Amino acid sequence: MLFEKMAKGVDRLLTVWIVGALVVMLLTIVGDVSLRETVRYSLTWNLEVAQYCLINLTYVGAALAFRHRAHISINVVTARLPVGVQQWVDVATRCLALPFLCILAFSGMQILQKAKGVTPTLRLPIWVYYFPIFAGALLLCFYAIVQIVEATRMARSGGAGEDEAGTPRGAVCAKPKVPGG
């Protein structure tokens, strides 16, 4: 489907974005520590760059983790339901999450619009710092829609692909008791 192809492309882009931010943050911090310890010279801009990279890692990484269902979840109750019911509960919970993600995106947009001024050291517009919050929230909304479509298709077909449905990677769930074991 179109959503799934778009999601895979966005996945690749986000992976590059996150890895790039991590590499830049690492090089900035290691470079500053190396310069400070060897030639007693400290970079003035390294904290701003490291903070910006961390903001990117947090908000954009949260969206990618959401896509891969890597956030922690507790499925003690739903794990005891029949598989068909579990799938429809999964659809319902994803639908319930979408309005909250939309509120987050709207709030991120408002913060972005109100951001005035420049950063102290690099003199970048302050909206640059807030942009990853808005972008991450939009990506969360996009991935929520993709997952609703995937979960609905899975529930309608009655199939259970482990990657698409079933227990998320970060789930804490009760193991059903086996008689005699």
Q: How confident is the model at residue 165 (pLDDT cuts 50, 70, 90)?
A: very low
Convert the chain into a string of H (helix), E (strand) and C (coil): CHHHHHHHHHHHHHHHHHHHHHHHHHHHHHHHHHHHHHCCCCCCCHHHHHHHHHHHHHHHHHHHHHHCCCCCEECCCHHHCCHHHHHHHHHHHHHHHHHHHHHHHHHHHHHHHHCCCECCCCCCECHHHHHHHHHHHHHHHHHHHHHHHHHHHHHHHCCCCCCCCCCCCCEECCCCCCCCC
- Domain tally, the chain: 1
pLDDT tens-digit readout, 23-67: 999 999 999 999 999 998 988 899 999 999 999 999 999 999 999
Query: How far is residue 138's CA from residue 135's CA, in Å, rounded to a whole number?
Result: 5
Residue 179 lies in a domain: no
Closest CA relative to residue 42, chosen from 52, 34, 32: 32
Residue 104 lies in a domain: yes
Mean pLDDT of 77-89: 90
pLDDT at 54: 94
Q: Which domain holds residue 145?
A: 2-172
pLDDT at 6: 87
Residue 177 lies in a domain: no
Residue 165 lies in a domain: yes
Residue 18 lies in a domain: yes
Lowest mean pLDDT among 27-31, 73-77, 96-100: 73-77
Q: How confident is the model at residue 104 (pLDDT cuts 50, 70, 90)?
A: very high
Residue 112 lies in a domain: yes
- pTM tops 0.95: no
Query: Between 98 and 177, where is the model more confident?
Result: 98
Residue 21 lies in a domain: yes
Residue 181 lies in a domain: no
